Amino acid sequence: MTKTGKDNGFSRRRFFKLAAVGGLGTMLLPSGLKETLAQALPAQKPATNINDALNYPRTEWSLPGKFPGKVIKVTHARCVEDGKPLQEPVFQMLEKSMLSLTGASNINDAWRIFVKPGETLGLKLNPIGGKLLSTSHELVRSVIEQLMIAGIPKENIVLWDRREFQLHEAGFTPEAYPGITITGTEKKDADGSFYGTDGRLYSEVMIDKDWYYWADVEGDYDDYTLPYMVNKGKYSYFSKICTQQVDKIINMPILKNAGSSITLCLKNLGYGVITNTGRLHKELWGETSAEVPCFQPVRDKVVLNIADGLIGCFNGGPGANPQFICNYNTLLLGTDPVAVDRIGYDMILAKRIAEGVQQEDVPRSRRFMEYAQELGLGIADREAIILHEIHLT
């Protein structure tokens, strides 16, 4: 195992000490908050209610979590065979990364740092690539098995994403996961309709209007698109799964590109827990990815990020384009979603350059991570990230 970075003793105390002398610190402190925010935001962007999120007091669980700036990267030369991850190596990769992150001597103690019996745990998956490129079943089953070792029964585990039917299409069904709750914000009935007999969207019952991300951008959709957005206008409401149904969240995105940038931990949260996102892509793509995770139901519930890089893509993302799918043979794990994203970004950038997709780094592609750092969600500065690498064979 090798370690890279300036300081192998990076801690929550050092994170907040670092914060106090830079832009990040003033974002965390009540005094001077609005002035610092005005400096952090790119010019000419639509206004949002980010100040509402930043006004909530932080807790011991607030992102960047127990291990700010620390990322575990574990690779296994034989974890994928014939385009399919293998269960035993994936379980081993997850176990090794959990022990390395926490310093625990066994897997029960490692998971007990983050979860405890009686809590309901939500595994936030990414199924939009269908069976071709979604959070792998081998990784999900490994997490479930290790949670059960730590005393969390199946009945307290929820597999979820924005669209329930996409989970089913990717193979996350009650038959495949007996005893596990599988749900989503946007729902269809047995006949594939989004609407009930009263003409109301089934998804409306799943949104929590006490929690919302407001942005001065209108969302106006046609009859086909609306069910995928749930509502129009300038409000994006949080899912009740996030705000009411789970106590802790384990974020499980896929290692994918989005143009010259990435769609990983922050994007899986920013766009996966709210409605009415179509309006945000053009003017506030990066801001949404950084700002939505600042709201308390996300910021204080996400205890772990496990980025699935067993199979990922380097171009054509976030969709699943077979010609750009590749085996990274990697898991990235950490409590800090910004640091995990930064390491994932470097991996995808290296692959894109090697494949001739782009020639060099595009600094603006990293801006949303830098902004997330300014908002206090984690570390985007590569020199301040402590990367522990584990290579298995």
Q: Cα–Cα distance between 274 and 212 in angstroms, integer? A: 8
> What single-letter DSSP state applies at residue 254?
B
Total Cβ atoms within 10 A of residue 112: 17
pLDDT of the residue at 236: 98
pLDDT of the residue at 151: 97
Residue with tokens 């994936």: 90
- Reported as a pLDDT band with limits 50, 70 and 90, residue 227 is very high
Total Cβ atoms within 10 A of residue 24: 26
Asked if residue 39 is part of any domain, the answer here is no
pLDDT of the residue at 17: 46
pLDDT of the residue at 320: 85
pLDDT of the residue at 167: 98
pLDDT of the residue at 317: 87
pLDDT of the residue at 38: 42
Peptide bond into 64 cis (omega under 30): yes
Predicted TM-score (pTM) of this structure: 0.90
Which are the contacts of 87, defined by CB distance < 8 A and separation ≥ 6?
A: 138, 141, 142
Tokens of 65: 């979590």
Q: Mean pLDDT, to the nearest integer, of 335-344?
A: 98
- Nearest Cα to 333, choosing from 387, 293, 393? 387
Question: What percent of the chain stands above pLDDT 90?
Answer: 86
Which amino acid is it at 264? L
Asked if residue 127 is part of any domain, the answer here is yes
pLDDT of the residue at 11: 60
Asked if residue 367 is part of any domain, the answer here is no
Which amino acid is it at 379? I
pLDDT of the residue at 39: 45
Q: Cα–Cα distance between 290 and 283 in angstroms, integer? A: 13
Q: Cα–Cα distance between 45 and 14 in angstroms, integer? A: 32
Asked if residue 202 is part of any domain, the answer here is yes
Domain that holds residue 209: 56-314+342-360+380-392
Q: Cα–Cα distance between 166 and 86 in angstroms, integer? A: 23
How many domains, in total, are found in the chain?
Answer: 1
Q: Using DSSP, state whether 273 is helix, strand or coil.
A: coil
- Nearest Cα to 271, choosing from 34, 258, 44, 260? 258
**For 274-307, how does the pLDDT look when each residue is reduced to its tens digit (9 = 90+)?**
999 999 999 999 999 999 999 999 999 999 999 9
pLDDT of the residue at 220: 86
Asked if residue 24 is part of any domain, the answer here is no
Total Cβ atoms within 10 A of residue 228: 16
Asked if residue 46 is part of any domain, the answer here is no
Q: Using DSSP, state whether 159 is helix, strand or coil.
A: strand
**For 199-215, how does the pLDDT look when each residue is reduced to its tens digit (9 = 90+)?**
999 999 999 999 999 99
**For 1-49, how does the pLDDT look when each residue is reduced to its tens digit (9 = 90+)?**
444 444 444 565 555 544 443 333 333 333 344 344 444 444 589 999 9
Asked if residue 45 is part of any domain, the answer here is no
- Given a cut of 80, whether residue 360 has pLDDT beyond it is yes
- Given a cut of 90, whether residue 221 has pLDDT beyond it is yes
Q: Mean pLDDT, to the nearest integer, of 180-184?
A: 98
pLDDT of the residue at 13: 57
Asked if residue 4 is part of any domain, the answer here is no
Total Cβ atoms within 10 A of residue 6: 11
- Given a cut of 70, whether residue 143 has pLDDT beyond it is yes
Element (H, E) at 210: strand 207-214
**For 245-268, how does the pLDDT look when each residue is reduced to its tens digit (9 = 90+)?**
999 999 999 999 999 999 999 999
Residue with tokens 């999120």: 53
| Bigger pLDDT: 73 vs 219 | 73
